[in-house]
Amino acid sequence: MHPKALLDACAELVRLTLTFEHPADSVVSRFFRDNRSLGPRERATLAETTYAVLRKKLLFEQLARSGSGPKERRLAILGFHGPRDFLKSALNDQEKNWLEQCDTLQPGDLMDRHRHNLPEWLVAPLKEQLGDGFWPLAESMQQGAPLDLRVNALSDKRAEVQKELSQAGIQAVATPYSPWGLRVDGKPALTKLPAFVRGAIEVQDEGSQLLALLLDAKRGEMVVDFCAGAGGKTLAIGASMRNTGRLYAFDVSAHRLDALKPRLARSGLSNVHPAAIAHERDDRVKRLAGKIDRVLVDAPCSGLGTLRRNPDLKWRQSPEALQELAAKQTAILASAARLLKAGGRLVYATCSVLPQENEAIADAFGAAHPDFVPADAGELLTQLKVEHAASLCSGGATGTRNLRLWPHTHQTDGFFAAVWTRKG
C-alpha cells in the first residue's frame, strides 16, 4: 500500500475509534472486515497506530494543536507504527517540520497529565495506593502487553509445548508464576499451529491463569465459574479437574458463551456445562444452592487492569459507571455465595486496579457474611508451589492477604482476588 494511502487509512480508523461508541477492538475488527485487501503488515500498522493514539491521547492532542490539517491525521502521524522514512514519505514539508519539533520534546518538558495520559478521576486512587509506584504503573499502562499462553495441562506438558513452538520459529519462556504459562516473543499468528488446533495452547494472561489456579478445583468436584464469559478460566479450571466432576459455566450473555464452544471443542474437556442465565438469581442458580464445592466470581468490572490491551477503557469508563458496577458486583457475589456447600471455597476476582471494585466489595461481603472465613491467597498459592507467592499479594481488612497483581511489578494485567471458605 502506498504510504499516503496507509496514513489516510490510519487517520480514518483513529477517527472511528475516538467516537468511543464501541470498544476499540471491535472497531478495528470491523474496519478490517470492511477492507479485506489489507495485508498482515498493513493491519499491524493500522491497529498499533490506533492503540498508540488511545494510550497517549492527552499528549498527542496537546501536540496536535501546533500542527495543521485534520485532527485525526495529526494524531495518526504522532502515533504511526512503522519506519520513520516510510511515514515521512507520506507527509508534506509543513508536517515534516512539525513532527521534527514534536520529536525534540523530552518527558521532563511535559505536564503530568501529558506524561501519565490518564483521566484525572483515575489518578488520585492510583497515587493513593502506590505512592512512588504510580509513575512506573502509568508508564507500563502505555506499553503493549506481552502475549501469554496457557498450556492445556490435561493433554500436554509445558516444556514439550515450548520445544514444539521453538521448532515452529516461535520463542517462548515459562511464565514466572503460573505453572501452565508460556510468554511468547512478539505477536506471531497462532491459529494455524498444530499446538493451537489440537487444543494444547490457549491465549490467556498469566494473571488470569493464577485466578483459575487459586480456585484449586479438584477431581470429581462440583464447580461453578459464575461469570464465565468466553471461558478462558473455565477451560483452565476444567483441565485442573482432570476432566472429571461437573463444571458449570454461567453467564448472562449467551453470545459470550458461544465464543466458548469452539475453544471447548479444541480443549478435549467433556466436564464443562455452559448455561446462559437471565440474572444472578436465575432458577438454574437457585437449584444448585448449597451443592457446589468451589465458585469463581470473575465479576463484571471496569477492566482498568487491562489498559495495556484495552487503552480505550480509560476514556470510556466514568466514576458514575463504577458506582453502577459496584452495586452489580455486590449483588453477584452475594448470589454466587449461596451456591457453596459447607467447607466450599469462594473466589471473588476482577481485572480492575481500583479498591472500590476490589477490597471494598470483598470487605463488605466479609462483614455481611460471617459464615465465610477469609483465606490467605499467599498461603494458598505457596501450597500450590507458586514461586514468590507472597510478592503477588497485599493485606485485606481482616489481616489475610488478597491476590493483587500489577502490570509494572508482575508483568501481568492488573488483577485482584479475595478467597473465603464457607464454615461447616
Residue 5: CB partners within 8 Å, gap ≥ 6? none
User: Per the structure block, which three cell numbers stand in for 398?
Assistant: 481482616
Q: Is residue 75 within 8 Å of residue 60, measured between CB atoms?
A: yes
382-394 as b/e: b if 16+ CB within 10 A: eeeebeebeebbb
- The answer to whether 102 is a known catalytic residue is no
Q: In which order are the strands placed within the sheet that holds 147-151?
A: 172-174, 181-184, 147-151, 201-203
The single-letter code of the amino acid at 72 is E
Nearest residue to 392 via CA among 259, 154, 250, 209:
209
Q: Of these residues, 10, 227, 301, 351, which one is catalytic? A: 351
State the Cα–Cα distance between residues 94 and 358, nearest whole angstrom: 49
Phi-psi category of residue 370: left, alpha or beta, with phi > 0 → left and psi -120 to 50 → alpha: alpha
* Contact of 417 with 377, CB cutoff 8 Å: yes
Catalytic residues: 351
